[in-house]
């Protein structure tokens, strides 16, 4: 059972995803979701502690700027144990729903570690106002810490870094997913790297555009990097930041791997998912006409999304969706995100016509259980079983039915 220290406040978690393909194709996925701060106990899924970003308490001591030695600038770090937690969580999630697991690839690990340390250096040396963690290009207002001025610079774009490393499987497709988070604890009890890695990875599994890239049937190799940093200008005894970079790749033997029928995540029997999605980049609620998103996830989170894919179909149409809380005997309203209403149409993040997401709308649920958010919306209820059913019209010809149950973990704050 997870408990939370009410003196702690989760600050933010940013998730990003990218897909690199060689000249034979191209594309990408990306997203982001909040994380949590806790007292060191395991964090629930999406972020699995407090969900919406909150303002930390005033530190009781003066904030001391983060100071690094010259050696710190050039020595790459990686918490191998926490990195294995991240890779293992992704691999287990895939196997649990019928895909192949992922084998460790040292070549991918080296690329991930270098890029994770590039991002770490930026956040440890500055407070960036505009920073896309997939890119290593120079940024004018923090140019001293970005681009080639960063000692971990290996290439402006993901594609550049893969090619510079001469990665042998690049022609089969390589993905990159990134999570970044900061924790605050007024008592100086910092979250363990393994706990943070689990939380950040489960957050990726609740972010639609990340989830897509994590569930590519052809992926067979992976590696993660997990690095800790002290946020610039903040009390190093009370703040802890983490960067997690995951890379996955197909190989010659798996490049054509696919799945039969309807694939979903979650699927039958999946447990310990997050209860809520608090943000993602690209935003699934982006306003296609510009302006503010149609939903502010930080204020109004949704429940764990359900990913639907039918790789061997040209197009699918999902209908008759039921999303039921079995314990409370209530139906949860949903939105359907598919090609027809995808807010990122005609971009690299566009959903193909044979994929969709069921998005549980949890506005009326009072699922937060503790602290100042008690009785408010924290997505789905924690430790609860949900039954999902829907129909799929395949290529405008065949109607197929799907039904399964999954169980949430602790409430994601």
* Pairing mode of beta strands 355-360, 334-338: antiparallel
pLDDT, tens digit, for every residue of 55-77? 233 333 333 333 344 444 468 99
Q: What are phi and psi of 326, to 5 degrees?
A: -65, -40
In sequence order, the 6+-apart residues with CB closer than 8 A to the CB of 276 are 46, 47, 51, 206, 301, 302, 303, 304, 362, 367, 377, 378, 379, 380, 411, 412
Mean pLDDT of 354-367: 97
pLDDT of residue 295: 95
Residue 384 pLDDT > 60, yes or no? yes
Of residues 370 and 54, more confidently modeled: 370
DSSP state of 277: B
Structure tokens at 392: 């799929």
Q: What is the mean pLDDT of residues 303-328?
A: 98
Spatial contact of 45 and 272, defined as CB atoms under 8 Å apart: yes
- Identify the band that residue 49 occupies on the pLDDT scale cut at 50, 70 and 90: very low
pLDDT tens-digit readout, 190-202: 899 999 999 999 9
- Residue 151 confidence (pLDDT): 96
Distances (CA, A) of 347 to 26, 148, 350, 351: 11, 29, 6, 9
pLDDT at 11: 39
State the pTM of this model.
0.84
Supply 393's token pair. Answer: 């019209």
pLDDT at position 270: 98
- The answer to whether residues 382 and 367 touch, using CB atoms and an 8 Å cutoff, is yes
Question: What number of H helices and E strands is found in the chain?
Answer: 5, 13
Extended beta strands in 200-339, E state: 219-229, 239-250, 263-265, 306-309, 316-325, 330-331, 334-338
Q: Can you give the pLDDT at residue 19?
A: 54
How far CA 170 is from CA of 19, 112, 239, 255, 320, in Å, comes to 11, 14, 37, 11, 40
Residue 130's pLDDT is what? 85
Query: Range with the lowest mean pLDDT among 38-52, 94-108, 275-289?
Result: 38-52
Q: What is the mean pLDDT of the chain?
A: 85
| pLDDT, position 288 | 87
Would you call 387 helix, strand, or coil by DSSP? Answer: strand
Q: What is the pLDDT of residue 372?
A: 85
d(CA 183, CA 35): 9
What secondary structure letter does DSSP report for 108?
H
Give the bridge partners for 125, in sequence order: none
Residues 6+ away with beta carbon under 8 Å from 7: 57, 185, 186, 187
pLDDT at 13 over 80: no
153 and 273 Cβ atoms separated by less than 8 Å: no
Kindly indicate the confidence band of residue 15, based on its pLDDT and cuts at 50, 70 and 90. Answer: low
Burial label for 82, CB within 10 Å (0-12, 13-18, 19+), is buried
pLDDT at residue 53 greater than cutoff 50: no
Each residue of 230-246: pLDDT tens digit?
A: 999 999 999 999 999 99
Residues of the chain above pLDDT 90, percent: 75
Residues 104-122: what's their mean pLDDT? 97
Terminal alpha carbon distance of the chain = 15
């Amino acid at each position: 059972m997870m408990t939370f220290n009410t003196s702690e406040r989760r600050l933010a978690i940013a998730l990003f995803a990218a897909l690199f393909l060689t000249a034979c194709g191209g594309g990408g996925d990306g997203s982001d979701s909040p994380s949590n701060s806790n007292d060191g106990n395991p964090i629930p899924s999406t972020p699995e502690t407090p969900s919406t970003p909150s303002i930390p308490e005033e530190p009781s001591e003066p904030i001391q700027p983060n100071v690094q030695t010259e050696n710190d600038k050039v020595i790459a770090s990686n918490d191998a144990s926490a990195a294995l937690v991240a890779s293992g969580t992704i691999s287990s999630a895939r196997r649990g729903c019928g895909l192949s697991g992922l084998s460790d690839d040292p070549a991918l690990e080296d690329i991930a570690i270098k890029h994770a340390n590039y991002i770490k250096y930026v956040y440890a040396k500055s407070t960036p106002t505009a920073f896309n963690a997939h890119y290593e290009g120079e940024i004018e207002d923090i140019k001293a810490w970005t681009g080639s001025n960063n000692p971990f610079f290996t290439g402006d774009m993901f594609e550049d870094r893969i090619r510079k490393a001469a990665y042998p499987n690049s022609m089969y497709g390589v993905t990159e997913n990134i999570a970044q988070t900061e924790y605050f604890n007024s008592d100086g009890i910092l979250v363990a790297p393994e706990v943070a890695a689990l939380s950040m990875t489960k957050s990726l599994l609740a972010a639609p555009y990340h989830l897509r890239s994590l569930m590519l049937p052809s992926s067979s190799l992976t590696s993660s990097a997990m690095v800790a940093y002290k946020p610039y200008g903040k009390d190093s005894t009370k703040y802890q930041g983490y960067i997690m970079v995951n890379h996955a790749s197909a190989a010659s033997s798996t490049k054509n791997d696919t799945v039969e029928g309807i694939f979903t995540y979650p699927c039958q029997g999946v447990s310990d998912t997050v209860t809520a999605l608090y943000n993602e980049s690209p935003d699934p609620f982006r306003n296609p006409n510009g302006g503010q998103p149609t939903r502010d996830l930080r204020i109004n989170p949704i429940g764990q999304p359900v990913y639907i894919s039918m790789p061997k179909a040209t197009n699918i149409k999902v209908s008759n969706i039921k999303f039921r809380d079995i314990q409370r005997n209530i139906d949860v309203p949903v939105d359907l995100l598919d090609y027809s209403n995808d807010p990122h149409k005609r971009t690299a993040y566009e959903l193909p016509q044979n994929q969709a997401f069921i998005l549980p709308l949890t506005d009326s649920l009072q699922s937060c259980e503790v602290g100042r958010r008690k009785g408010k919306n924290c997505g789905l209820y924690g430790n609860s079983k949900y039954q999902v059913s829907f129909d799929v019209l395949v290529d405008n010809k065949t109607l197929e039915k799907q039904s399964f149950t999954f169980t949430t973990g602790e409430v994601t704050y």
